[in-house]
Amino acid sequence: MAIKSINPYTLEISKSYDEMTNKEIDEAVNVAYSTYQNWKKTTFEERAAILNNVGSILRSKKNELARLITLEMGKLIKQAEYEIDYAVSIFEYYAENAKDFLADESLKVDVGEAFIKKSPIGVLLGVEPWNFPFYQVARFAAPNIMIGNTILLKHASNVPQCAKAIEDIFKEANAPEGLYTNLFIRGSKVTKLIADKRIQGASLTGSEKAGSELAMMAGKYIKKSVLELGGSDPFIVLEDADIDRTVNLAIIGRTINNGQSCIAAKRFIIVEKIAKEFLTKFKTKMSTLQLGDPMNMETQLGPVSSEDALNTLLNQVNKAVSEGAKIEIGGKRANLKGFFMEPTIISNITSKMEIYKEELFGPVASFYVVQNEEEAITLANDTEFGLGCSIFTKNLEKAKKLANQIDSGMVFINHPTKSSIELPFGGTKNSGYGRELSPLGIDEFVNKKLIRVLTEEDKL
Ligand code: NAP
């Protein structure tokens, strides 16, 4: 079956690519494997030169690449441009800092010398999602290429043009063949690849289902894995928070990337004393967002990525309503040609409803009222996910104590969860394991090799 690029705003198919044959996949793995034998011997300077070239080319093609993102998955063009800038900075960050991050670590010993040398492990398979087609690839590929590993990249099937563009940029950047290879394959072919002896590790960003299947195979074949999966991040507002500021951030938190971010604020947990005022303002702002062409700089909310994504959201909302939840605003497909969901707020959700446990991947907010902070923390933690969380209050000491009680990989105080190059990104529970970005992001697919040195005179 061909891999197609369908514009979620116009519904036109802009390009389609053939899936790779088994022979082509095997050849790609072979080249990545043989390139690894040389790449692992290169210096940090040689590796950094390639990544800096990749960064420069991305920067010079920013407008064209941003348009490609918007065309394939519907991201607002302004946000697509930001994504390219962010990807550039990730390539440059690891090019500049990898040598320090991977420096030998000496260990205290009674006799002789001992240190940890961080070495590459081999060919890695990255499985990436469509929602940030350049940023997701950058945060996996950049640190691992600096370690000395080589990359096979299976991108999401709805962003093939972005996938191809990234491979072409590596070629243009003078990367040796096999350093970064795009694989046009379906998700179902991934599990077989994990078994391949030439591949030493795999990282997946995406759904729990895909992550669990990949991890199962990685476990079976004893391969290192990293999983960055879904989230249902709580957005907790305490009674002393600045309501207008918090409502503005709630809108950004819920609708960024047309509501399709793993770290989007999804469950709004508001202390009763301010809940009514918060909800009134939240409804007003959400319902006046301007929907439309994501290529237009004025548009505030674009379509979701696909018909399937839209139907999933509509089914989740309809089911919740049939179980007794209340639609505060929205709840339906918007009256536009593309895959548009109305900005939606749902209240009266109980723990018996499916929506209570699920991730909502689009502009749909769950709204909860709690009596106090203890209830807020209990509700925030009552989820199988554990990616991010945000807490809004003027009392920073209290916020830090509450942050300590939250079961998630990241907690932001007075800010929606956000990715930054220098800060570790990742989750706990069903949101996955391992970290990307920051110094921790270069510490996953390395062999932390102990080197112990004694002289012939040293006592054993
Ligand atoms: P998805 O279906 O899991 O797709 C993600 C990637 O996995 C795609 O490349 C997909 O390929 C591949 N895939 C699908 N089934 C697979 C399988 N059985 N084995 C191996 N690979 C498989 O995810 P999605 O629903 O499109 O993406 C949204 C999800 O990603 C959300 O849950 C979101 O929260 C999560 N996400 C997490 C992070 C994070 O950092 N934690 C970041 C972004 C998104 P095909 O396209 O060919 O199916």
Q: Where are the domains of the chain?
A: 2-229+422-451, 233-413
* pLDDT 10s digits, 177-226: 999 999 999 988 898 899 999 999 999 999 999 999 999 999 999 999 99
What token pair was written down for 345? Answer: 């707020």
pLDDT at position 1, please?
A: 74
What is the pLDDT confidence band of residue 280, given thresholds at 50, 70 and 90?
very high
214 lines ligand 1 (CB under 6 A): yes
207: Cβ below 6 Å to ligand 1?
Answer: yes
Query: Smallest Cα–Cα separation from 449: which of 216, 105, 181?
Result: 105
Q: How many CB atoms lie within 10 A of CB 344?
A: 24
**CATH architecture of the domain covering 2-229+422-451:** 3-Layer(aba) Sandwich (3.40)
Residue 163 pLDDT > 90: yes
What's the pLDDT score for residue 218?
A: 98
251 Cβ closer than 6 Å to some ligand 1 atom: no
Instruction: Identify the burial level of 140 via C-beta atoms within 10 angstroms of its C-beta, where 0-12 means exposed, 13-18 middle and 19 or more buried.
Output: buried
CA 449 – CA 183 distance, rounded (Å): 31
State whether the beta carbon of 400 lies less than 6 angstroms from ligand 1: no
387 lines ligand 1 (CB under 6 A): yes
From 19, 134, 207, 436, the mutation candidate for ligand 1 (largest count of ligand atoms within 8 A of CB) is: 207
Q: Give residue 231's pLDDT.
A: 97
The per-residue pLDDT for range 331-361, each reduced to its tens digit, is: 999 999 999 999 999 999 999 999 999 999 9
Which DSSP symbol is given to 21? Answer: P
Question: 420 alpha carbon to ligand 1 midpoint, in Å?
Answer: 21
Model confidence at 459: pLDDT above 90: no
Catalytic site residue 389? no
| Region 54-79 average pLDDT | 98
What integer pLDDT is reported at residue 232 of this predicted model? 98
Asked if the model's pLDDT at residue 460 lies above 90, the reply is no
Domains 2-229+422-451 and 233-413 share a fold: no
Which of 20, 425, 381 lies closest to 205, judged by CA?
425
The pair of structure tokens assigned to 219 is 């476990």
Q: Among 258, 257, 281, which residue's Cα sits nearest to residue 268?
A: 281
At the topology level of CATH, where does 233-413 sit? Answer: Aldehyde Dehydrogenase; Chain A, domain 2 (3.40.309)
List all residues 6 or more positions away from 104 whose beta carbon is below 8 Å from its beta carbon.
115, 116, 117, 118
**Count of C-beta atoms within a 10 Å radius of residue 384:** 13
What's the mean per-residue pLDDT of the chain?
97
pLDDT of residue 392 exceeding 90, the answer is yes
Catalytic residue among 162, 262, 359, 389: 262
> Which of the listed residues 161, 205, 359 should we mutate to test ligand 1's pocket, taking the one with most ligand atoms within 8 A of CB?
205
- State the distance from the centre of ligand 1 to the C-alpha of 158, rounded, in angstroms: 11
228 is an active site residue: yes
